[in-house]
Amino acid sequence: MDFEKILQELPAQMRELCGKGRVATYIPALARVPANKFGMTLCRVDGGCYSVGDSEERFSIQSISKVFTLSLAMSRCGEALWRRVGREPSGNRFNSLVQLEYEKGIPRNPFINAGAIVVCDMLLSHLSNPKQNLRDYLRVLSGGFDIDFDEEVARSEAETGFINYALANFLKGHGNLHNDVDEVLDLYFHQCSLALSCSELAQAMTHLASAGVSKRLGEALLTPAEVKRINALMLTCGTYDAVGEFAYRVGLPAKSGVGGGIVAVLPGEYAVAVWSPELDPSGNSLAGGAALEYLTTVTQRSIF
């Protein structure tokens, strides 16, 4: 499969979508990102990587970080995690208070905001320095050893994250948050502020395409069962309230973020990361989703 040729075709294919989406503005630091950025990297499980466009430029990965906090929590907490977080698609906005009230304080899945906040709470209970542990985990997975938090983005999130404060306090009121609300949200805002490039993200995701084994590190980071569960959750819960449409069009387990990034895997073959800041109405990258649809259509390879 000539992945290099396919990726080189993408910028021209995506150009017609420029201006048809909107950059996230509810987080002020994200509103200033140029809308015309586009980058993509695909890394095969055997080690070959292909990139195009702004693939080396770092951006705020936002909710993509939830894949990595979930991985850490699963390895530390095991099945106890699922007593506090569900595994079903939400069908509602990622920050819905109504759904959390209906579910009596048990978030529907770990990729909506309430679920990710509970995962952060569990990491605070099991790790001595969860912010540093998470940052170092991404550094090891990606090979980008200067990866760090974007403190401006973290500060911007904290200053405008009123709904997340409401979610955390609601969780606390239902006994599903064990640590101090401010400490939990500090970890949550920082995880969303992590800045990686497409090439770093694709490399960081490759173990989810190879049954938990990092070929770069030469070791297993997760069990095959854990990888199966994470990929299943990405497919059913990873692209906000548009998971059905995304699965229909793209056919890959994926996780998106309002920073304009999307990561996806084709088990046994590759991991891919794409970044384009303009979002569709569901909060997913407009050109990013189209690029992944083009990839799976041209290659005639998806999980289906």
Tell me which residues are annotated as active site.
63, 66, 188, 240, 258
Give the separation between CA 67 and CA 27, rounded to whole angstroms. 21
Residue 294 burial (CB < 10 Å; 0-12/13-18/19+)? middle
Residue reference for tokens 């040729």: 5
Give the separation between CA 191 and CA 186, rounded to whole angstroms. 9
Extract the tokens encoding 297: 């259509």
Residue 83's contacts (CB-CB under 8 Å, 6 or more residues apart) are none
Give the separation between CA 132 and CA 15, rounded to whole angstroms. 38
Give the full edge-to-edge strand order of the sheet including 39-44: 49-53, 39-44, 270-275, 261-266, 254-256
Q: Terminus-to-terminus CA distance in the chain, angstroms? A: 18
- Read off φ and ψ for residue 164, nearest 5 degrees: -65, -35
**H/E element, 269:** none
Q: Are strands 270-275 and 39-44 parallel, antiparallel or unpaired?
A: antiparallel
Nearest CA to 239 out of 59, 46, 54, 91 is that of 91
Give the separation between CA 211 and CA 278, rounded to whole angstroms. 32
Residue reference for tokens 């170092």: 136
CB of 250 closer than 8 Å to CB of 229: no
